[in-house]
Amino acid sequence: MNQKFAPLFEGFTLNGVELKNRIVMAPMTNFSSNPDGTVSDAEIEYYERRSGGPGMVITACTFATPNGKGFQGEFSAVSDDMIPSLKRLASAIKSKGAKAILQIFHGGRMCPPDLVSSDVVSASAVSSDQNPNIVPRELDDWEIEAIIRDFGQAVRRAIEAGYDGVEIHGANGYLIQQFFSPHSNRREDRWGGTLEKRMAFPLAIVDEVKRIVAEHAKQPFIVGYRFSPEEPETPGITMDDTLALLNTLADKELDYLHISLMEYDSMPRRSAVTDKTRLELVLDTVGSRAPVIGVGSILTPDDAIKAMETGVPLLAIGRELIMDPDWTEKVQSGRENEIRTVIEKDKQQELVIPDPLWQAIVNTPGWFPGV
């Protein structure tokens, strides 16, 4: 191995769970689960192919409550009869040497109506810019409480299924972020209005998840939280809003905070006037209170080292592990010149990419290099 890449392969501990290196497989939707919400054979093979190198694998999101399904072909964690399916995926990941983290979420107003019996819900009855013709139903107070409990029960199922941890998906415009956003949350009750009240739902989810872990986990169990730093909408989440949220989350004794970025070195869109990148601002705010996972357009080991130089201890790699499942092993064995950084259209079988994900890749120009 080229010694300049050695920092990528130092061990790291999250809440007593030992990771063999600093590489994390980022959570990526693959659209490939069975119609009944169970994990498919194709998904198992896809994850097994990619779980030998990274120290930790974060799964695609699983929905925690029936009206939270955000994608066709998304696997479910809504009931105890899904535990065998969840266990099958955890076992597949762990058998290859990576720690298995289950990402849990609710799609909110981003759910396609046909996946949730047309009951699209959110913090308020405000449509998204992406789906302007879909006006969600504002959740009642008792429904909010029920969704919080559902998140907790999904975590209990993850514990029983043998996962090493969970990631609360508070990013990418889904329900948890919708409650935090002034664009989607126009409430004037305990769940909205001021910045602090818009934090109430995300913080309640965190508290319930941690309560369930304390009650049910018999061994160290990781709890992470994923967030998006800003929104393009006006009004929308600003960098200053996010730093305030992170300042609060960092005091919740979470095991990591995971920033969702397309480019790890991107600058703030507005507010937080500074010459620092979003990632650097997050690191400054969180300090030593929680490890931060950085992500965004890391293709080569040089990209990874440059990202680590910001001070971020863990790196999530997404599209690159789809294009080259052996990325980590190639770097570790000194074969970084063999790394593929474009999708090769004749390599679907070799790359072990399920058909629904493959179709999404080849039919979405610009998503992957080479398409």
Note the pLDDT of residue 121: 98
Tell me what the pLDDT averaged over the chain comes to: 96
Domains and CATH numbers, the chain: 3-340 (3.20.20.70)
Q: Which of 174, 225, 256, 264 is catalytic?
A: 174
Q: Is the pLDDT of residue 271 over 80?
A: no
Q: Are 157 and 83 in contact (CB under 8 A)?
A: yes
Q: What is the rounded CA–CA span in Å between residue 273 and residue 362?
A: 39
Phi-psi domain of 232 (left: phi exceeds 0; alpha: psi -120 through 50; beta: other): alpha
| Interval 111-128: pLDDT, tens | 999 999 999 999 999 999
Residue 49: CB atoms within 10 Å: 18
> Does the pTM exceed 0.75?
yes
pLDDT tens-digit readout, 213-230: 999 999 999 999 999 999
**Distance between CA atoms of 282 and 292, rounded to whole angstroms?**
8
Confidence of residue 371 (pLDDT cuts 50, 70, 90): confident
| pLDDT confidence of residue 269 | 86
**Tens-place pLDDT, residues 337-347:** 999 999 999 99
Q: Answer yes or no: is pLDDT of 187 > 80.
A: yes
Tabulate helix, strand, coil % of the chain (nearest 5): 40, 15, 45
The packing angle between helices 278-286 and 239-249, to 10°, is 30
What are the pLDDT digits (tens) for 10-53? Answer: 999 999 999 999 999 999 999 999 999 999 999 999 999 999 99
Please tell me the predicted confidence (pLDDT) of residue 281.
Answer: 94
> What pLDDT digit, counting tens, does each position of 274-303 carry?
789 999 999 999 999 999 998 888 999 999
Confidence of residue 68 (pLDDT cuts 50, 70, 90): very high
Encode pLDDT of 86-117 as tens digits: 999 999 999 999 999 999 999 999 999 999 99
**3-class DSSP assignment, residue 77:** coil
Would you state the torsion angle of the CA atoms of residues 88, 92, 95, 101, taken in this order, to the nearest 10 degrees? Answer: -90
- Quote the CA–CA distance of 299 and 216 in Å, as a whole number: 38
pLDDT tens digits for range 152-178 = 999 999 999 999 999 999 999 999 999
d(CA 132, CA 122): 14
The token duo for 78 is 């809504």
Let me know: does 334 contact 301? Beta carbons within 8 Å.
no
User: Could you report the per-residue pLDDT of 313-327, keeping only the tens digit for each?
Assistant: 999 999 999 999 999
Residue 273's pLDDT is what? 67
Cα atoms in the 13 Å half-sphere on the side-chain side of 281: 25
Instruction: Provide the pLDDT for residue 297.
Output: 87
What 203-207 contacts at long range (C-beta under 8 Å, 24+ apart), as own/partner pairs, is 203/248, 203/249, 203/252, 204/148, 205/148, 205/151, 205/168, 205/170, 205/176, 206/168, 206/249, 206/252, 206/254, 207/252
Catalytic status, residue 47 = no
For the cut 90, the answer to whether the pLDDT of residue 81 exceeds it is yes
State the DSSP H helix or E strand holding residue 178, giving kind and residue range, or none if neither.
helix 175-180
